[in-house]
Chains A and B, each alone.
Chain A
Amino acid sequence: MGRQALIMVVAYSLIFLLTGAMMASATVDAFNNAMNYSDTGTVENIAISGANLAANYVFLNKPGIAGNAWWTGWSNPVALNGGTFTVRMDSVKDQYGNWGRVQMTTTARYGDSTYQVVVLFNPSQFSKFALYAGSMTGVYFEPSDSVFGPCHIESTLNYGNPAGGTQAYGAYFSGKVTTKSGIAALTNPAKLPTFAGGLQNGVSIPLTLNTSQLVTEAGANLFSGGNLYLTLKDDSVSYSTTGWTTGVTTKAISQIAPNGVIAIDKGTLYVKGELSKPLTVASLRSSGSSGGTVTVKDNVTYKTDPRTDPTCSAMLGIVAYSTVMIDTTAAHNNFTVQGSMYSQTDGVQVKNYSTRPRGELYVLGGWCGTQIYATSNGTTAGLPVNVTYDERFRVESPPYFPGTNSYQILSWYE
């Protein structure tokens, strides 16, 4: 009897052990699954944190641009949250095969798990802005104003309503807006603008014109002093230093500007015509107190419209140390400027804006300057401005267009 009881106890014990093991296996699997998810999340977080730390280093130290030393990354594993990460920096080519972009690869390890974050940087140019203003002293965005594209104000962004205005909405900004000193209402009442792409204050991006680089890239064809009359003719240019019709020479852009830059130092550049190649025209002032202005004498357009022609490679940068003047003496009232305009110390102005016949100034590109000027008298004269952002300028720029001396993130792969 004792033996049978013992057998029974042993048998039941075995049954309960097997059952317990089966029950435990499901629990263990669930635990392992939870741990696996936790490990995955942890290694991802380490990689993302490492990438953010490295990106911060890149933004603060700007390796490889503006004379800063190159940075190879953190090759020795950096301990973080129980795991490690390494960072590798590589120079990569853009879509045209030119070096300049930077790829940052962050590899994290946690236990058996590995995870990579790949971030692609591009040196950022001022052409990425649809509108850049160094100062808004005395002027403000009113409800009828709109900016379609990235916008930066290197001071306070002012907004307000014209006298007696009762608009229900404020100005409209479709793209990301950054300011150095925040926003302020200059009138009372004033409607707060709509920042559809977000608003970030405390960002300083001062205008920086690297004159010596443009001089270098213009090479032997750098003009010095006096005037330069430039007529764009698809993939070639006609130029003269005496006038539009005298002493004119025509050359292919690849010949006169192999690096894509035509420049005059301490003089005045007049430009008009139609373009089918990437080109930057610049009027510089390497020294002294005169010269460095650009006058847009007539329409400046691309041969095909990049908004409808994806193969359009034409891209124009108009760079001036001083004023970019829209000269409205041509025999038509509506003007078109396709390209990004940059004025280091002044801004874009419309000649005789308060007396000339009323028309419209269509800009496809961007508008960067220290000052913002009125372009019409608001009612009967001048050229109200219609700026359309050239979306290509988010990732590309005219040759050697002034840079912000910092990087922008093109893509972030996790």
Chain B
Amino acid sequence: MQVVIDLIASTVIFGWLFIMGLTTKTANNEDFQTNQGELLCQENLVELTKLLEYDFRKIGYCKEPDKIPNPALAILKADSSQIKFLTDLDLNGTGPDGNLDSLYYYLGPAGTMPNNPNTCILYRVVNNLPAYGSNLGVTSFRLTYYDQFNNVIATPVPANKLQTIFSVQISLSVQNVVASALQETAPINQQFQTAFYMQRRLAVVNYLNR
């Protein structure tokens, strides 16, 4: 009889410990995915901001400045989520080649990515070549333009006001491209880690230097 009681008790205790272990594992997995999602989100944001800052600082730049006598004409189009400008890009990894290139950033439509309907593709088009971009989880890409008196310029900026742009504010938010919650079937349970970035007044140094 004592043996039976011991067996029952040990089974109960083992089951309890087993369930506790499983629960712990499940919770750990979810936390781990959440952390990984946040890490991925943050890494995507950092890479995007580095690229944007790198490119935007070169608006109107040319290694051979005689090829762009008036850099104030370098911004060709400016809107709240798109911008096109002239610059001198490092196309082959050896630095700027002294030839002017056009660079066009614009945000694609939302809802086209299967795992996170909030995300869009931020396109980077060089020299009017076919647009390409990768899904880094961009959910918003907003550009605000300021004149030299720090007044906001209404968008889309008309062609005759492009020269008044003195600085640009970039706002960017990124979400994890896949949900990290385990119950992904119901949208309400989906968790998308979000990171937000705002560059206040990125002065366009080459734009109005002459």
User: Could you list which residues of chain A lie within 8 angstroms of chain B, going by C-beta atoms?
Assistant: 8, 15, 19, 22-23, 26-27, 29-30, 33-34, 36-37, 40, 94-95, 120, 128, 150, 174-176, 196-199, 391-392, 394-396, 408-414
- Give CA–CA (A248, B160) in the complex, Å: 50
Interfacial chain A residues near B58, Cβ < 8 Å: 413-414
Interfacial chain A residues near B17, Cβ < 8 Å: 8
Distance in angstroms from A225 CB to nearest chain B CB is 39
Contact B32 A411 (CB under 8 A): no
The 10 closest A-B pairs by CB, nearest first: A26-B35, A410-B65, A394-B69, A198-B148, A412-B205, A30-B39, A391-B69, A411-B65, A409-B209, A414-B57
Within 8 A of A (CB), among B119-156: 147-148
Interfacial chain A residues near B147, Cβ < 8 Å: 198
- The residue from A8, A26, A199, A396 contacting B39, defined by CB atoms under 8 A apart: A26
B173 contacts the other chain (Cβ, under 8 Å)?
no
- Give CA–CA (A413, B97) in the complex, Å: 13
B194 contacts the other chain (Cβ, under 8 Å)?
no
- Give CA–CA (A95, B64) in the complex, Å: 8
Interchain residue pairs with CB less than 8 A apart (10): A22-B28, A30-B35, A37-B49, A120-B65, A150-B210, A174-B163, A197-B208, A409-B209, A410-B209, A414-B54
Distance in angstroms from B66 CB to nearest chain A CB is 5
Number of interface residues of B (CB under 8 A): 40
- The residue from B57, B65, B205 contacting A395, defined by CB atoms under 8 A apart: B65
- Give CA–CA (A160, B166) in the complex, Å: 27
Contact B43 A412 (CB under 8 A): no
Q: Contacts A33-B43, A33-B46 hold; do A26 and B32 have CB atoms under 8 A apart?
A: yes
Distance in angstroms from A93 CB to nearest chain B CB is 12
Contact B70 A391 (CB under 8 A): yes
- Give CA–CA (A26, B36) in the complex, Å: 6
B164 contacts the other chain (Cβ, under 8 Å)?
yes
- The residue from A19, A40, A392 contacting B28, defined by CB atoms under 8 A apart: A19
Contact A394 B210 (CB under 8 A): yes
Q: Contacts A26-B36, A30-B42, A395-B69 hold; do A412 and B61 have CB atoms under 8 A apart?
A: yes
- The residue from A8, A19, A34, A412 contacting B209, defined by CB atoms under 8 A apart: A412
- Give CA–CA (A110, B180) in the complex, Å: 36
Instruction: Across the interface, name the chain A residue whose C-beta is closest to B35.
Output: A26
Beyond A34-B46, A395-B69, A413-B61, 20 extra complex contacts between A and B, CB < 8 Å: A8-B17, A22-B28, A26-B32, A27-B35, A33-B46, A36-B46, A37-B49, A37-B50, A150-B210, A196-B164, A197-B163, A198-B147, A198-B208, A394-B210, A409-B209, A410-B65, A410-B209, A411-B209, A412-B61, A412-B205
Instruction: Across the interface, name the chain B residue whose C-beta is closest to A18.
Output: B28
Interfacial chain A residues near B42, Cβ < 8 Å: 30, 33-34
* Chain B CB within 10 Å, residue with most, of A30, A40, A199: A30
B79 contacts the other chain (Cβ, under 8 Å)?
no
- Give CA–CA (A409, B38) in the complex, Å: 42
Contact B39 A33 (CB under 8 A): yes
Contact A23 B28 (CB under 8 A): yes
Interfacial chain A residues near B24, Cβ < 8 Å: 19
Contact B28 A196 (CB under 8 A): no
Contact B164 A408 (CB under 8 A): no
Q: Contacts A22-B32, A26-B36, A34-B42 hold; do A128 and B69 have CB atoms under 8 A apart?
A: no
B62 contacts the other chain (Cβ, under 8 Å)?
yes
* Chain B CB within 10 Å, residue with most, of A27, A34, A94, A176: A176
Distance in angstroms from B101 CB to nearest chain A CB is 14
Interfacial chain A residues near B61, Cβ < 8 Å: 411-413
- Give CA–CA (A15, B25) in the complex, Å: 9
B161 contacts the other chain (Cβ, under 8 Å)?
yes
Instruction: Across the interface, name the chain A residue whose C-beta is closest to B147.
Output: A198
Contact A196 B210 (CB under 8 A): no
Distance in angstroms from B94 CB to nearest chain A CB is 14
Instruction: Across the interface, name the chain A residue whose C-beta is closest to B210.
Output: A394
Contact A411 B62 (CB under 8 A): yes
B184 contacts the other chain (Cβ, under 8 Å)?
no
Distance in angstroms from B121 CB to nearest chain A CB is 22
- Give CA–CA (A408, B63) in the complex, Å: 16
- Give CA–CA (A22, B160) in the complex, Å: 56
B108 contacts the other chain (Cβ, under 8 Å)?
no
Distance in angstroms from B182 CB to nearest chain A CB is 16
- Give CA–CA (A55, B160) in the complex, Å: 31
- Give CA–CA (A396, B65) in the complex, Å: 10
- Give CA–CA (A248, B123) in the complex, Å: 66
- Give CA–CA (A19, B30) in the complex, Å: 12
- Give CA–CA (A28, B58) in the complex, Å: 33
Contact A408 B39 (CB under 8 A): no
Instruction: Across the interface, name the chain A residue whose C-beta is closest to B73.
Output: A391
Q: Contacts A95-B66, A394-B69, A395-B65 hold; do A411 and B46 have CB atoms under 8 A apart?
A: no
Interfacial chain B residues near A412, Cβ < 8 Å: 61, 205-206, 209
Task: Fill in one digit per residue for B172-210: 1 if any A CB lies within 8 Å of its CB, else 0.
Answer: 000000000000000000000000000000000110111
Q: Contacts A176-B208, A414-B58 hold; do A395 and B163 have CB atoms under 8 A apart?
A: no
Contact A196 B163 (CB under 8 A): yes
- The residue from B35, B49, B163, B206 contacting A23, defined by CB atoms under 8 A apart: B35
